Amino acid sequence: MGLFSKKPPCPICGGKISWFLPSKIEGQYICDTCYSKIDMDNDKKCNLTMQGFKEYLAFYDENQHLKSKFAVSEKIDFGIWDTKIIFDYQNKLFCMSKNPDKTVFEGKHLKSFIIKEDNIPLFEGSSEGIRCYTSTVPERAMALAPQIAQYMMSKQLARAIDKMDDGKENRTAPIQLFDIPEPFKAFNVELYLDHPYWTVIKCDMDGPRFSHEHPNVNDYIRDYQDSIKEIEKLVKALKTVAFPGTVEISVAFGTTSAQGVQKSVAPSVDPIEEIKRYKALMEEGIISQQEFEAKKKQLLGI
């Protein structure tokens, strides 16, 4: 069939089929309006049959009702690619867009979520509770301070050499840009759903970057803390719509994780602070006295 030959109307709505690269389901052309309604996992989309598509459209129409009652209580901005998640606290809804124009999920659809810093868990949530892991990012950023100081010194030296002959900046001496990799690249957000059309939604929020010309650990940590505020907002919002009333548990990095975090990369921790933290967990009834005693002995090395 040629590009400009006449195509039969859309089997769903009878509308006109686009002349330019029209979409197909099971070999049949579908109009752009009908096709644009598809918002589901990619593998489900690839295997969509005509019957499945008709069923999906019924679901789509039903979902319109949730879209129309959606009242935005919170908006989380992921920065790059303009990814946003909006939440409706009253109706316990969320939607992966800046307006409720994509599939609206009910909080009960969310089974669990995990937020990682380059595959190292930072938050995990389910109906069993929210786990917050201690991040090693600030510590790892701090550890780069000597390298940064050295870079700044070599830059100053290059400037000084540059000015040596005539006292002017000639920019003849090449100044290298700072290119030490950051402690992590991105926060990876994964939402696991119990839903006919969605199994998992993944999106990334870029971590902070060092300035190539004026790298500075304090600037980095300040930017990191700003990102963490946004991530904490996201965790709170997910908890509000999906797991209200669950407890939040702080877990020291490397002590326990469903993801099997390697203990070998655990940072040195202040044992006294850790013991206080475990004592609080015991008092809240989250761990038993025996578990607390065992942890205490382990931390004190006795």
**Which residue ranges make up the site for Zn ion (CB under 5 A)?**
10, 12-13, 15, 31, 34
Q: How far is the CB of 244 from Zn ion (least distance, A)?
A: 40
Please identify, using beta-carbon distances, which residue of 54 and 297 lies nearer to Zn ion. Answer: 54
- Give 208's contacts (C-beta < 8 A, 6+ positions apart): 182, 220, 223, 224, 226, 227
CA 78 – CA 204 distance, rounded (Å): 7
Q: Would you tell me how many other CB atoms lie within 10 Å of the CB of residue 197?
A: 19
Please identify, using beta-carbon distances, which residue of 13 and 200 lies nearer to Zn ion. Answer: 13
Q: How far is the CB of 53 from Zn ion (least distance, A)?
A: 10
Strand partners, 249: 131
Please identify, using beta-carbon distances, which residue of 11 and 121 lies nearer to Zn ion. Answer: 11
Please identify, using beta-carbon distances, which residue of 57 and 251 lies nearer to Zn ion. Answer: 57
Q: Dihedral through CA 241, CA 247, CA 252, CA 253, nearest 10?
A: -30
Please identify, using beta-carbon distances, which residue of 29 and 89 lies nearer to Zn ion. Answer: 29
Q: How far is the CB of 35 from Zn ion (least distance, A)?
A: 8
Q: How far is the CB of 190 from Zn ion (least distance, A)?
A: 33
Q: How far is the CB of 45 from Zn ion (least distance, A)?
A: 16
Q: Are 243 and 113 in contact (CB under 8 A)?
A: no
Phi, psi of 87 (to 5 degrees): -125, 145
